[in-house]
Structure 1
């Protein structure tokens, strides 16, 4: 049985190295709310179409980055697009429903596209995808116009723009619009890193440079060090079998991972906020693949079975807990 089942163009997996069979751990949990009770309540209210309850929680966001986090929780709820239109039409100058509806249209568009590679998406699916993204852009630009200081519309415009292939210059301006309002916005940095990945027309050189520059520009303890690990994982995915592990286990890459971890997840000033478990999962996978078993095991012990979709979806898009379990057992975590 393969320990790694790498995603191929057809959505199947190709074997990496051999693995033994391990039993399923009852302690593993894929918590889409990351332990945030606000997200649980938001999703329940959104699923039931209770806008006043959704609004109260969103109005209570601590800052622009927190509002982005909460709206992301709502955008994933299927069916919200059916009642959000009426809310936006009730007060066309209210930025909050425009923001939520725009964000939902972004996710709704990607649902139509099915997240497959372009060659496996039909013309009809692409037509729906682009139509919903254009609607999202209109709503998000209106939200930005009504609330010029709000960071959240620009964050979701990063995602819609990538789907519409707006190009690197305009994408960079949207990212800059976010960081002008919220310099350490982690989610926006994640989106910009994806924007400049080789698979989206960028290069590995760009992703590594961006990740390192963002990490060094941030204060010690910032979660932005996670970007360095992501950049290395992206290149690992892109390498041919055999060269992939050789790349990640190179001394320069390993040293870079340790430096990034020490500046972020291992730093005394690092705060475990919102989806901090995603950063820990990312470093756990990177260290495990790099053969740094003790470093990976330390992170797995802190996580205590808390699994995030990213980065494990790169190994198994159907069940992220499976590769988590396998690698945790392999490194002794």
Structure 2
């Protein structure tokens, strides 16, 4: 991740392209694309790469994913009622540009999953509706059935804060986990669903929910099928999966399981999900809960 982000900061398109092309067009490449999208300034130099390589879909894909992140930067992660109209206008303008580029990539490279994964995010931001959103998800997983980010994005689409429901979200998480081979990272979805449910509740009710015996049992079941399963492989994204289970077990009061997950991270912190606890300093939230778990 660090290498491609440094190349993006230096506006070194040949290096960015080489690193992307070295990864298979699947979840592996998707993770690198989103790493590039986090770098401010990519939007200033990627148009030159598009112009220089008119027949290539890759610079269009980078531009589309960057415009998604750039759009969310304008919107911020605040709830809709706290986002100004001007912010929404910029947000939607950038997402529409991203959609145009991503659809062009999908047309040029019909086997690629990455543009469809990006279109899941633009669809949520542009409020295309649940039917269209599901079609975009299905288009992604037809190309890569166990694509973790695609499943994460669809879970967000159907959670309560985006017009779905807790019941639909939990059912999707469990169905995805058991529909994948044991050891798949899709077990993370169960932990995310519990965190989203906890986040949606008022103070007091949230702790009662996440510390309930049914939630603890559900988290243990998911961890045993995911990160604790002997077939679990540390593919790109594995650190975030462990961080998610660490936070969920910590909030649930299951110190033994939280400690095991914290040990596996070896001090590596991912922004998600810790920014749910401390948006300005996810690392501080991680360290606080790691210490409470006895690490």
Maintained 8 Å contact 1:281/1:307: yes
Maintained 8 Å contact 2:216/2:252: yes
Tell me, in whole angstroms, the C-alpha distance in 2 between the residues paired with 1:80 and 1:291: 42
- 1:196 counterpart (142, 158, 167): 158
Structure 1 residue aligned with 2:7: 45
**Structure 1 alignment gaps of length 5 or more:** 1-38
| Structure number, greater radius of gyration | 1
Structure 1 residue aligned with 2:91: 129
Corresponding residue SS for 1:307: coil
Shift of 1:71: 0.9
Tell me, in whole angstroms, the C-alpha distance in 1 between the residues paired with 2:54 and 2:230: 46
Does 2:176 align with 1:184?
Answer: no
Written as runs of structure 1 = structure 2, the 5 A alignment for 1:228-307 is: 228-307=190-269
Tell me, in whole angstroms, the C-alpha distance in 2 between the residues paired with 1:249 and 1:313: 20
- 1:212 counterpart (170, 174, 199): 174
Shift of 1:270: 0.2
Deviations 1:168-195 (A, max 9, x none): 1111011001100000100110111011
- 1:116 counterpart (63, 66, 78): 78
Tell me, in whole angstroms, the C-alpha distance in 1 between the residues paired with 2:265 and 2:58: 34
Corresponding residue SS for 2:253: coil
Shift of 1:69: 1.2
Maintained 8 Å contact 1:315/1:323: yes
Maintained 8 Å contact 1:93/1:146: no
Shift of 1:53: 1.2
Does 2:153 align with 1:152?
Answer: no
Shift of 1:304: 2.3
Does 2:60 align with 1:104?
Answer: no
Segment of structure 1 superposing worse, 222-231 or 61-70: 61-70
Q: TM-score, normalised by structure 2?
A: 0.97
Say which structure, 1 or 2, has more relative contact order (CA 8 Å, 6+ apart). 1
**Considering only aligned residues, what root-mean-square deviation do their CA atoms show, in Å?**
1.1
Which structure dedicates a bigger proportion of its chain to helix? Answer: 2
